[in-house]
A and B are shown apart, each in its own frame.
Chain A
């Protein structure tokens, strides 16, 4: 771990060096302008200090061209900063298609994480080095925020909504993980470590679950829930089924009873499970029971993972 007296902390993700480059540029600008301002007021303070019988100062010779020039110069400088910052930001908003998805649920005051093969962990995240990882995150209670300083990434985690965060680690090692949105009494305890491992170590770790415990992937768990909750009685391919067939739904446009259209993303699936009548699919009667209060956030994530798998979406 680098000393806190280094200008830059540990860089352990693909974006870290891009963010740090902007940071160093900003520091350079700040040092120049601070020295300029401080230098001028000190020099003027000495040079134009009041002398007992000095002449009265003249009225300032004002030239609005000075203000214009300063404004134009600043505008250009700030546009460069704006553009650079936005570019790096946008590069990092969309995860690559092949990113491995890990499900994250925040609750007062812990992080619960689940890997694609079903392995779960709390407050520690094991990931392989050099592979893009996407976190799909939600909260069971208040707003939290997932922050890995060494990766320079952060994203708020909201109740009732899914947010995404992705990164690609560049170095094996242990890095701090924090909650950065104040969430109550034990807020400062809501964190842990990100353990970046080689791909082989990660595979070994993944399969190293406590002997005997059945490994169930989120998709499998979702499928089991789908059966347990009786979803398939209506949501099947048969003609005359009471609910829409879910194969191939995810990521596609759905026509609603009121004539509008929505994209069937995670938010839509979530809403349609918890409160099915909010956005009813055209051609179906509002007969589905409300699942709000019946299934928890983890189960919701698993059901969605299963529905996504029906469309061949990666999970």
Chain B
């Protein structure tokens, strides 16, 4: 009897990673945590593909002439970069990986509301992704990720239908995930976990899910319309067939501008978690931050026309879109103020996730401020479709979106994998990525104001020096990502075992083991305090014999 007890105590306790080992146990899993890992692996592959495309065309842009690539190839590469990074990395990144893993754990549930639908969403995502990859492998697409008509519907000689089908199908995966989150958050919170005790990450996921559900059907319909015009020659967008070319832009941006918030709201949620944890304080202005996510989600649906100031859209419509765009900047700016105020009189430590939060604050601030240049009508006329826009949205989507994702990955890595990564290397990579990012994209603001149009394979020679600087920066950025891939891969096998709560953070996910058991908590936790109770000792639901590290 005493012998068996000893074995039980020393054997590896079963967690969601170790309870079963077969391939089927992964491919047919309905565990939200395993589905998150499936997404993480797939998204990493897509990120590498999108990054490789960027590396190739960035290299070609070292010289004003076409040397490394042909124009056709260049156009297909930037299109691939856009489609892969937007539809198959940024949109699903934080929700499908971090959200899937964390939403049930953070609210004390055993799983999402519809676990099978959750698994289906991954298969649908992979189907969409593989079809889009098929379009790329079978010859590529050259329309740009924006698929502007009538070029995409009538003129492009590339695999538009396949690419559009891929993005269309992947959209359903987003909708399934969003639906799951809304129901889960609404119905499955642990006893005592009231709305205003929720972590802000959950609020962000909720707001994002609303945008996904309201916006994605519109882009799906729009993509189908391209298919109808291209395949059946049925005039919708091409004036030669009686269509309206600008209609496409309205429909496309009605989704794709809110999609920016799909990419950025989750990151804001992550930053709220990280800043409060590493400042050891409740987030300043919790209520404001929570509601501003919802406000941004709603107002974000009424600003799409700012992509169209030079499209021949009515000048008065432009006026309204310009005004609303300024308006949406206010809750965003106050959020930044709240994060900064959280640090005031905090107890700040600079672990890797906090470095990414700092990176986010710096880069996203620049991304937001340069957005003002584009919401001001007079300056947007000059800047529209130049490198200034390219720089601006990379500051928002990489500086905001990707920094948030990497911050989240480092913050919850111990929870997800049960391993710590080497802190020194991680800090080093974070700094390299920050510097590389700025070197890559800052010169592009200057290129843009001097008139360099985007999506140009060849360019005027006076722009070369800034392009060389940008390419040099991109190599630093790429090196940063590779270092990160190396130490994270290493840590999976050799990393130190993580304790249940390595950051001494608050919130339910830190109250269970790292990695959590399949059912997340051995018994449903009862919540008696908010997610940021840093003035109180941390709570644990880990049975004593498992607190071994």
**By the criterion CB–CB under 8 Å, are B348 and A59 in contact?**
no
**Count of chain A to chain B residue pairs whose CB atoms are closer than 8 Å in the complex:** 269
Q: Which residues of A contact B150 (CB under 8 A)?
A: 141-143, 159
Q: Which residues of B contact A66 (CB under 8 A)?
A: 337, 341
**By the criterion CB–CB under 8 Å, are A44 and B344 in contact?**
yes
Question: Which of these binds chain B: A148-156, A210-218, A237-245, A252-260?
Answer: A148-156
Cβ contacts B342-358/A at 8 Å (1 or 0 each): 11111111100000001
Asked if A286 lies at the interface with its beta carbon under 8 angstroms from chain B, I say no
**By the criterion CB–CB under 8 Å, are B347 and A50 in contact?**
yes
B439-468 contacts to A, CB under 8 A, are 446-447, 449-451, 453-460, 462-463, 465-466
Q: How far is the CA of A59 from the CA of B322 in the complex (A)?
A: 39
Q: Which residues of A contact B377 (CB under 8 A)?
A: 85-86, 88-89
Residue of A nearest to B309 (CB): A89
Residue of B nearest to A40 (CB): B340
**By the criterion CB–CB under 8 Å, are A78 and B330 in contact?**
yes
Q: How far is the CA of A108 from the CA of B157 in the complex (A)?
A: 14
CB-CB under 8 A for A62 and B284, given A78-B326, A156-B310: yes
Instruction: Give the distance to chain A from B158, nearest Cβ to Cβ, in Å.
Output: 10
Q: Which residues of A contact B115 (CB under 8 A)?
A: none
Question: Which of these binds chain B: A18-26, A117-125, A128-136, A226-234?
Answer: A18-26
CB-CB under 8 A for A89 and B340, given A57-B534, A81-B372, A184-B156: no
Q: How far is the CA of A67 from the CA of B447 in the complex (A)?
A: 36
Q: Which residues of A contact B338 (CB under 8 A)?
A: 67
**By the criterion CB–CB under 8 Å, are B245 and A143 in contact?**
yes
Instruction: Give the distance to chain A from B335, nearest Cβ to Cβ, in Å.
Output: 10
Q: Which residues of B contact A183 (CB under 8 A)?
A: 151
Asked if B379 lies at the interface with its beta carbon under 8 angstroms from chain A, I say yes
Q: How far is the CA of A86 from the CA of B380 in the complex (A)?
A: 11
Cβ contacts A182-208/B at 8 Å (1 or 0 each): 111111110000000000000000000
Asked if A248 lies at the interface with its beta carbon under 8 angstroms from chain B, I say no
Q: How far is the CA of A302 from the CA of B375 in the complex (A)?
A: 37
**By the criterion CB–CB under 8 Å, are B148 and A60 in contact?**
no
Q: Which residues of A contact B447 (CB under 8 A)?
A: 4
Instruction: Give the distance to chain B from A145, nearest Cβ to Cβ, in Å.
Output: 6
**By the criterion CB–CB under 8 Å, are A186 and B71 in contact?**
yes
Q: How far is the CA of A9 from the CA of B445 in the complex (A)?
A: 13
Sorting the interface of chain B by its residue count into under 10, 10 to 19, 20 to 34 or 35 or more gives: 35 or more
Q: How far is the CA of A4 from the CA of B443 in the complex (A)?
A: 10
Asked if A287 lies at the interface with its beta carbon under 8 angstroms from chain B, I say no
Q: Which residues of A contact B8 (CB under 8 A)?
A: none
Residue of A nearest to B323 (CB): A82
Residue of B nearest to A94 (CB): B315
Q: How far is the CA of A182 from the CA of B455 in the complex (A)?
A: 7
Asked if B51 lies at the interface with its beta carbon under 8 angstroms from chain A, I say no
Residue of A nearest to B354 (CB): A45
Cβ contacts A9-48/B at 8 Å (1 or 0 each): 1000000001100110010011001100110110011001
**By the criterion CB–CB under 8 Å, are A145 and B385 in contact?**
yes
Asked if B282 lies at the interface with its beta carbon under 8 angstroms from chain A, I say yes
**By the criterion CB–CB under 8 Å, are A89 and B71 in contact?**
no
Q: Which residues of B contact A156 (CB under 8 A)?
A: 310-312
CB-CB under 8 A for A160 and B379, given A4-B465, A64-B285, A145-B385: no
**By the criterion CB–CB under 8 Å, are B347 and A161 in contact?**
no
Asked if B7 lies at the interface with its beta carbon under 8 angstroms from chain A, I say no
**By the criterion CB–CB under 8 Å, are A23 and B384 in contact?**
no
**By the criterion CB–CB under 8 Å, are B348 and A152 in contact?**
no
Question: Which 10 A-B pairs give the minimum distances between C-beta atoms?
Answer: A160-B239, A149-B451, A85-B376, A88-B378, A89-B377, A188-B456, A78-B326, A44-B343, A180-B385, A30-B369
Interface residues of A (CB under 8 A from B): 1, 3-5, 8-9, 18-19, 22-23, 26, 29-30, 33-34, 37-38, 40-41, 44-45, 48-51, 54, 56-60, 62, 64, 66-67, 70-71, 74-75, 78-79, 81-82, 84-90, 92-93, 108, 141-143, 145, 147, 149-150, 152-156, 158-161, 163, 176, 178-189
A-B contact pairs, 7 of them (CB 8 A): A4-B465, A30-B370, A41-B343, A48-B346, A66-B337, A158-B239, A182-B455
Interface residues of B (CB under 8 A from A): 71-72, 75, 142-144, 146, 148, 150-151, 154-156, 238-240, 245-246, 279-285, 288, 309-312, 315, 318-319, 322-323, 326-327, 329-330, 333-334, 336-338, 340-350, 358, 361-362, 365-366, 369-370, 372-373, 375-382, 384-386, 446-447, 449-451, 453-460, 462-463, 465-466, 534-535
